[in-house]
Chains A and B, each alone.
Chain A
């Protein structure tokens, strides 16, 4: 899966937790979940749990720590898929 495909699978997940339509439309690796998409930090946990389900991976706390941007999340997802 390339980065673009990963972003396309991530987008519907984050769309459930953001009202920022423009930032969502322009989603890229640089998109910050909290600063750009204004996702409530309590909902970041839901994003992580949804990602685990969507990609059938387990995200440990150490990896979760970094997942504040789309780019960082994609790196974590790629790493976990590789290790499956």
Chain B
């Protein structure tokens, strides 16, 4: 199983104020919060960790058939930021999921899978709105994420 999540940074800036009192504590563990606040680019780290959690939640909730809103139960570890790519593990209910996040000026896109090999072989296609005439569902993407100006499909 694979999952993805894209954050349009312009949209996120418009919709969310992560500096709001109490905001980080509802989403992030104390250690994640520390990583965010110590990072040179905190906004980028806020949305990197968020998209990791979201991408993994999509796999985990499909697997368990359960929906909930418990972002702090998805714990990001092994954060390893190299240039514009971040790798990391997200652990939930003692299960580890592997993620790769691509950080661009205008968006952040995380790919997630149940093994390091599976995450490295995911193929991604990102479209910008307005979309070209296409029936993307007929291409059978394994997971879809849209936010703001972008649509991200993975195979």
Binding site for B on A (CB under 8 A): 40-46, 48-49, 52, 61, 64-68
Contacts and interface: CB of A to CB of B under 8 A. Distances in A.
Interface stretch (B65-73, B85-93, B102-110): B65-73
B26 A41 contact: no
B135 interface: no
B138 interface: no
Given A48-B26, A66-B68, 14 more contacts: A40-B15, A42-B50, A44-B69, A45-B71, A46-B16, A46-B23, A49-B21, A49-B23, A52-B22, A61-B26, A61-B72, A64-B26, A64-B70, A68-B67
B68 A68 contact: yes
B26 A49 contact: yes
B20 A65 contact: no
B69 A46 contact: no
Contacts of B70: 61, 64-65
Interface centre among A42, A46, A49, A64, by most chain B C-beta atoms within 10 angstroms, is A42
A23 B23 CA distance: 26
Nearest to B70: A65
A45 to B, nearest CB: 5
Contacts of A42: 12, 15-16, 50
A82 B27 CA distance: 26
Nearest to B21: A49
Contacts of B21: 49
A52 B21 CA distance: 12
